[in-house]
Amino acid sequence: QIALPDFFFGAMENWGLVTYRESNLLYDPVTSSNRNKETTATIIAHELAHMWFGNLVTLRWWNEVWLNEGFASYVSYLGADHAEPAWNVKDLIVLDDVHRVFAVDALTSSHPLSSKEDSVILPGQISEQFDTISYSKGAAVLRMLSDFLSEPVFVQGLSTYLKQFSYSNTVGSDLWHHLQL
């Protein structure tokens, strides 16, 4: 993991290397807030989650970018919660993502998590997929699925999904199939 002083993106994962905007990793125990520490932990967890959801298993096409970003967003809460259980970060998904996406999803500009492949072709259409719906709604849906199925069943489904599609491409229906096994 490397911090870069003038990195354009907040962070970027690659095989075996995660780069961060330096300011996203700065934490001073004397002057920084607890929220700053929590944000740093969730950014790190988000990027590390991409090692599995995005790198190990990659979406087939950009119309299902939520498979990468929704998972990374959801797992960022789990990772930070595991690192600091007293913070109850796992519960913050409701405030940070679920409520946010309720407002965005009610707009006429909203879109489904997955769309037809041929509706996302141009570079601008691909960039538009990286939005609140893909990140926050994706995370919210995954949290709901985990709660509905139970965490052990959800984790087992993810395990078989990751094993089958390691070093390969996937679509949303592949995930649903593995969660129903």
For the cut 90, the answer to whether the pLDDT of residue 35 exceeds it is no
For the cut 90, the answer to whether the pLDDT of residue 125 exceeds it is yes
pLDDT band at 43 (very low <50, low <70, confident <90, very high): very high
pLDDT band at 27 (very low <50, low <70, confident <90, very high): confident
So what's the pLDDT on residue 78? 94
Angstrom distance (rounded) from CA 20 to CA 2: 6
Find out whether 46 is annotated in a ligand binding site: yes
Q: What mean pLDDT is reported for the chain?
A: 94
Angstrom distance (rounded) from CA 94 to CA 19: 28
> Where is 11: in which H helix or E strand?
strand 11-14
Q: Phi and psi (nearest 5°) for 59?
A: -65, 150
Domains, the chain: 34-179 (1.10.390.10)
- Alpha-carbon distances, residue 83 vs 49, 67, 151, 158 (angstroms): 14, 24, 18, 21
Angstrom distance (rounded) from CA 151 to CA 69: 20
pLDDT band at 135 (very low <50, low <70, confident <90, very high): very high
Find out whether 50 is annotated in a ligand binding site: yes
**So which residues are the catalytic ones?**
47
Q: Is 2 in contact with 17 (CB distance < 8 Å)?
A: yes
Can you spell out the DSSP letters for 18-76?
EEEEHHHH---TTTS-HHHHHHHHHHHHHHHHTTTBTTTEEESSGGGTHHHHHHHHHHH
Angstrom distance (rounded) from CA 10 to CA 76: 15
So what's the pLDDT on residue 121? 97
Find out whether 69 is annotated in a ligand binding site: yes
**Could you read off the pLDDT of 55-113 as tens digits, one per residue?**
999 999 999 999 999 999 999 999 999 999 998 988 889 888 999 999 999 999 999 99
